[in-house]
Structure 1
Amino acid sequence: MTRELTNYYIHLARSDLARYTTCMPAKNIVKLYVEGGYYHIYNRGIDKQTIFLDDDHYRVFLSSLKQLLLPPDKVKPLPHTFTVQGRTLHGITHKRKNYYGKIELLVYCLMPNHFHLLIHQPVQRAIDQFMQSLSIRYSLFFNKTHKRVGPVFQSLYKAINVTEEPYLLHLSRYIHRNPLKYTKDLKNAYSSYGEYLGLRKTEWIKPEIVLASFEPTKLPFLKHTNTYKSFVEYDNEELDQYIDSSLALEDDKLL
């Protein structure tokens, strides 16, 4: 790509992402969630510790997302019979917490010590409840597996309100490129990139919301890009550094 074209991209990224960063609240903690709003949610392990130690850890987190986001009739109910000292006891049937219709997951990426989610909230205040359910589920698994107690995550989570469609595209690119720190095989990383490329279809991931705004003929910064894949995988260090710094999260680096 020519220097002129690179400068063109940076100019457009600057105008779009500057507005994104000015909407970031103090300490990136949103206290009021807007009905119908879009939010970039992220969190990391306490003391920057690794929270996904192997494939099983990633799968458990993804399984929790699946159970929380699938339609209720597609989620197995919690067991209500228990065996204690050889005796079968019958408890009260409990329904799993479910956020189908209340939360839509647009983009995700899981990294060894942190995660990113891009979420649409059709129902006000659903994010707080959803993130609490997700964090508790994974923390219980992690602590039981490693015979530990105490918090697994640095905090509840951080959230940034995304107010315009172009930011969704920039954020999806930023999130999907996170695994480049460890691998060049983005499509097989623990992220939603495969769904965006049409390599797999996952009912509880909604790539169509972001992809609907991918219109190279209408958005200037897509003028020289004709596929989502080329938009994400185009590699230019200067451009990437600018976008990454513009999307800088609290604490600078999650690693």
Structure 2
Amino acid sequence: MSRKHRIWYPGAMYHITSRGNRRSALFYDEMDRKAYLELLEEVRFYHPFHLHAYCLMTNHIHLQLETTTHHIKHIMKMLNSRYALHFNKRHHLVGHVFQGRYGAELIETKDYQLEVSRYIHLNPVEAEMVSLPEDYRWSSYRAYVIGEGNPHVRTKKILAYFSAPERENYQMFVEEGMAISKISMIYE
């Protein structure tokens, strides 16, 4: 049985997820995370795209990625295969690094763009790795709220949905997600 073809068109935006094989770690240390981001830039050179948000967790990744002229399958094939080669070579391993096919949810509305951005930035908080999203070094959140230089991500599109002061209003939007999450835990 063949796989369902992914919907693609120039300018399509996706919430991309990839998980380590058998839920194992994709990143053992800081060097692995830096290598992933370097490879992301290499891939962007060959297959241009816009990255609006990202988070590199221990055993999975989240990317909010907008295509330009290349199909998402070409971008992700190159990124995941190059990272798998790096990871296996560096750690003297063989076999699959990623668990199955990457996930790619098409984002077609402004509200979904915002929700995906918030979800990605809150991932380390939800996983109880940090108390505040700005404390997690391996996401794009600090570029959004404090304007920290980050060559990998474009904040302009998402921040444009917020009135001035955009960064502060985006931070409030994300923190509302933390409050909603805490309330829902109380009622579970």
Instruction: Specify the structure having the higher radius of gyration (Cα).
Output: 1
Distance in 2 separating the partners of 1:229 and 1:128: 32
Secondary structure of the structure 2 residue equivalent to 1:236: helix
Distance in 2 separating the partners of 1:137 and 1:152: 11
Per-residue CA distance 1:202-226 (angstroms, 9 max, x = gap): 333111111112249xxxxxxxxx6
Relative to structure 1, the CA distance from residue 167 to residue 53 in structure 2 (aligned partners, 3 Å threshold; closer, same or farther) is: same
Q: Kindly state the Cα deviation for residue 233 of structure 1 after the two structures are TM-superposed.
A: 2.0
Amino acid at match of 1:209: K
The corresponding residue for 2:35 is: 60
Does 2:176 align with 1:228? no
Does 2:61 align with 1:119? no
Q: TM-score, normalised by structure 1?
A: 0.63
Relative to structure 1, the CA distance from residue 113 to residue 147 in structure 2 (aligned partners, 3 Å threshold; closer, same or farther) is: same
The corresponding residue for 1:201 is: 149
Does 2:110 align with 1:165? yes
Structure 2, gaps ≥5 residues long? none
Relative to structure 1, the CA distance from residue 240 to residue 65 in structure 2 (aligned partners, 3 Å threshold; closer, same or farther) is: farther
The answer (yes or no) to whether the contact 1:30–1:158 under 8 Å persists in 2 is no
Q: Kindly state the Cα deviation for residue 188 of structure 1 after the two structures are TM-superposed.
A: 3.9
Relative to structure 1, the CA distance from residue 154 to residue 59 in structure 2 (aligned partners, 3 Å threshold; closer, same or farther) is: same
Secondary structure of the structure 2 residue equivalent to 1:131: helix
Amino acid at match of 1:34: Y
Relative to structure 1, the CA distance from residue 240 to residue 115 in structure 2 (aligned partners, 3 Å threshold; closer, same or farther) is: farther
Q: Kindly state the Cα deviation for residue 68 of structure 1 after the two structures are TM-superposed.
A: 2.7
Amino acid at match of 1:233: E
Per-residue CA distance 1:181-200 (angstroms, 9 max, x = gap): 21124224210001111331
Does 2:40 align with 1:46? no
Q: Percent identity?
A: 32
After TM superposition, list the pairs within 5 Å mapping 1:122-133 onto structure 2.
122-125=68-71, 127-133=72-78
Structure 1, gaps ≥5 residues long? 1-26, 73-97, 217-225, 243-255
Amino acid at match of 1:149: V
Relative to structure 1, the CA distance from residue 237 to residue 61 in structure 2 (aligned partners, 3 Å threshold; closer, same or farther) is: same
Moved over 6 A (4+): none
Per-residue CA distance 1:85-117 (angstroms, 9 max, x = gap): xxxxxxxxxxxxx22xx3111110010000000
The answer (yes or no) to whether the contact 1:43–1:154 under 8 Å persists in 2 is yes
Secondary structure of the structure 2 residue equivalent to 1:184: coil
Secondary structure of the structure 1 residue equivalent to 2:162: coil
Distance in 1 separating the partners of 2:183 and 2:124: 14
The answer (yes or no) to whether the contact 2:7–2:106 under 8 Å persists in 1 is no
